Amino acid sequence: MIQAGAQAHVTAANVVIDAGMSLTLEAGGQHLVINASGIFSSVAIVQGGAPMPGVPVQPALSLVPVAAQALIAPSLATQKLALTQAAQQAAPICAVCQKLAGMTA
């Protein structure tokens, strides 16, 4: 499966799409179906027109390899110790409550 964002560009001397049983093109609320029974369109096909210009292709990835930054997890030793002590004392710790209690006392 190929998925793209707002645009997908394919450039080659020859492009072959092998759909096997059926090929459906949908755009602008219209469709074109090609299968073993024939070619079907949601509107009458008229000759003429011109291809619409698209946005120039933008590379998805940098051409220059860049090393990924290492992710460092913060140490939880202090928090673990505080929670363990609170559980042993059966007294929950609330920093906001302690700060407010200190202000009113």
Quickly state the pLDDT bin for 30 (edges 50, 70, 90). Answer: very high
The confidence score (pLDDT) of residue 21 equals: 92
Residue 55 falls inside a structural domain: no
How many Å apart are CA 46 and CA 50, to the nearest integer?
Answer: 12
Residue 64 resides in a domain? no
Whether residue 63 is predicted with pLDDT greater than 80 in this model: the reply is no
13: in domain? yes
| Comparison of pLDDT for 4 and 31, the residue scoring more | 31
Q: Quick one: pLDDT at residue 64?
A: 67
Q: How many domains are there within the chain? A: 2
Question: For residue 61, is it within any domain?
Answer: no
Q: Is residue 40 part of a domain?
A: yes
**Do the bridges between strand 38-41 and strand 22-27 make them parallel or antiparallel, or are there none, so unpaired?**
unpaired
Residue 31: pLDDT over 90: yes
82 is in which domain, residue-wise?
71-104
Does residue 51 lie in a domain region? no
**Helix (H) or strand (E) run with residue 40 in it:** strand 38-41
- CA gap 80, 86 in Å, rounded: 10
